[in-house]
């Protein structure tokens, strides 16, 4: 799922680069896109291949989790990647480290369809938000009953839960939720009270996972009955475990934007702008919002979803109760938090 632990296998994963050829063998330009490793088939079918064909561009792709791809780019400025899609916290880091080319928003005709807060984020991170996702609870209703975040702390769920690791996209959100449960916001005390709440939750947690795909087999084998997940993983989990139910508690949730940036050393800037604008276009945003596609909630205000299409997305009522995470604050504390998290949750 995204901002995940760096393992020795990661470089091998990122080394596998697949070539997407445009319809013509004499494409006028090239583009290398670094993007998430979830739903790669749908990404090729609904975004990369159509873009290549429409714009006569040869597209190379690099798939992997967000944090590992960011690390690779940071350590290899000549990686050849032109455009990178990252979780919000990684976009904040990438901008802080000067990895991105300064964007000219006037070159993006669909930029005007973003909300004021999304435009603010774009300017702060020098990257464009192209979808928003949030955190919820997925569970096996035959084994447990759960209605709210606070239920995760119930002794009835001892040894039945999986939560995102602190190093993943929604790891910091899990810390925020623990702070809410304990009654003290993370930003008020640096997470001190939240970590105490996590220590109380520890007996219920079987695994702090780094890849949402790992949860599929854990549900199948009965190793877990409940998991805290980003909504982008719901379709995959329900397709492999038909009885699972997903919901976002009425008490609220936390949102994350996925953002797209042009790397500082990109030699294919024109094609990169075309790609970003294509990603923001009404037709593509509508297409990838589909449950059989990437399940990406749209940011283009021209896209309207039916109640059926909006299911399991940060859209409508869910978006209204989704709170923001201060990733500038998070990134200033994350090193200490990782150490503390590992002592409490991973030992």
Q: Is the Cβ–Cβ distance between 5 and 166 less than 8 Å?
A: no
- The reported pLDDT for the residue numbered 28 is 60
The Cα–Cα gap between 218 and 154 comes to 20
Q: How far is CA 330 from CA 96, 167, 172, 187, 202, in A?
A: 13, 11, 7, 9, 22
- The reported pLDDT for the residue numbered 10 is 44
Our CA angle for 88, 148, 339, nearest 5°, is: 45
- The reported pLDDT for the residue numbered 94 is 96
Domains delineated in the chain: 10-133+257-313 (3.40.190.10), 134-254+326-345 (3.40.190.10)
Residue among 306, 315, 258 nearest 122 (CA): 258
Cα torsion through 222, 224, 230, 235, rounded to 10? 10
DSSP 208-239: EES-TTHHHHHHHTTS-SEEEEEGGGHHHHHH
Alpha carbon 81 to chain centroid distance?
Answer: 19
Please report which residue ranges of the chain form alpha helices under DSSP H: 10-15, 40-43, 49-55, 66-75, 88-96, 116-125, 171-182, 186-189, 192-201, 214-220, 234-240, 269-280, 282-288, 317-320, 327-345
The Cα–Cα gap between 204 and 159 comes to 4
Quote the pTM value: 0.83
The Cα–Cα gap between 233 and 38 comes to 8
- The reported pLDDT for the residue numbered 176 is 98
Residue among 132, 91, 129, 66 nearest 315 (CA): 132
Show pLDDT as tens, one digit a residue, over the chain (347 residues): 443 333 433 444 444 444 433 333 444 699 999 999 988 999 999 999 999 999 999 999 999 989 899 999 999 988 899 999 999 999 999 999 999 999 999 999 999 999 999 999 999 999 999 999 999 999 999 999 999 999 999 999 999 999 999 999 899 999 999 999 999 999 999 999 999 999 999 999 999 999 888 999 999 999 999 999 999 889 889 989 999 999 999 999 999 999 999 999 999 999 999 999 999 999 999 999 998 899 899 999 999 999 999 999 999 999 999 999 999 999 999 999 999 999 999 88
Would the CA dihedral through 159, 333, 120, 62 be positive or negative? negative
């Amino acid at each position: 799922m995204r901002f995940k632990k760096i393992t020795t296998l990661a470089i091998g994963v990122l080394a596998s680069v697949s070539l997407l050829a445009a319809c013509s063998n004499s494409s006028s330009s090239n583009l290398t896109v670094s993007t998430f490793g979830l739903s790669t088939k749908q990404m090729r079918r609904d975004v990369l291949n159509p873009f290549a064909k429409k714009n006569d561009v040869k597209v190379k792709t690099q798939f992997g989790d967000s944090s590992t791809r960011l690390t690779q780019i940071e350590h290899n400025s000549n990686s050849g990647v032109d455009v990178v899609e990252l979780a919000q916290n990684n976009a904040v880091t990438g901008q802080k480290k000067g990895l991105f080319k300064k964007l000219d928003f006037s070159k993006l005709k669909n930029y005007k369809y973003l909300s004021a807060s999304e435009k603010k984020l774009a300017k702060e991170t020098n990257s464009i938000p192209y979808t928003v996702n949030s955190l919820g609870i997925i569970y096996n209703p035959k084994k447990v009953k759960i209605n709210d975040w606070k239920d995760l702390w119930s002794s009835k769920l001892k040894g039945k839960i999986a939560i995102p690791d602190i190093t993943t996209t929604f790891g910091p959100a899990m810390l925020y939720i623990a702070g809410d449960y304990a009654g003290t916001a993370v930003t008020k005390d640096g997470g001190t009270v939240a970590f105490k709440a996590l220590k109380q939750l520890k007996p219920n947690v079987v695994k702090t996972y780094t890849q949402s795909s790992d949860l599929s087999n854990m549900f199948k084998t009965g190793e877990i009955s409940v998991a805290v997940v980003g909504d982008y993983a719901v379709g995959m989990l329900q397709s492999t475990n038909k009885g699972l139910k997903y919901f976002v508690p009425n008490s609220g949730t936390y949102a994350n934007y996925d953002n797209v940036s042009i790397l500082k050393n990109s030699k294919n800037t024109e094609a990169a702008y075309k790609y970003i604008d294509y990603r923001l276009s009404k037709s593509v945003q509508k297409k990838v919002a589909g449950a059989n596609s990437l399940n990406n909630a749209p940011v283009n205000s021209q896209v309207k979803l039916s109640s059926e299409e909006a299911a399991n997305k940060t859209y409508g009522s869910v978006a209204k109760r989704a709170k923001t995470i201060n990733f500038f604050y998070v990134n200033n504390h994350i090193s200490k938090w990782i150490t503390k998290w590992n002592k409490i949750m991973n030992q």
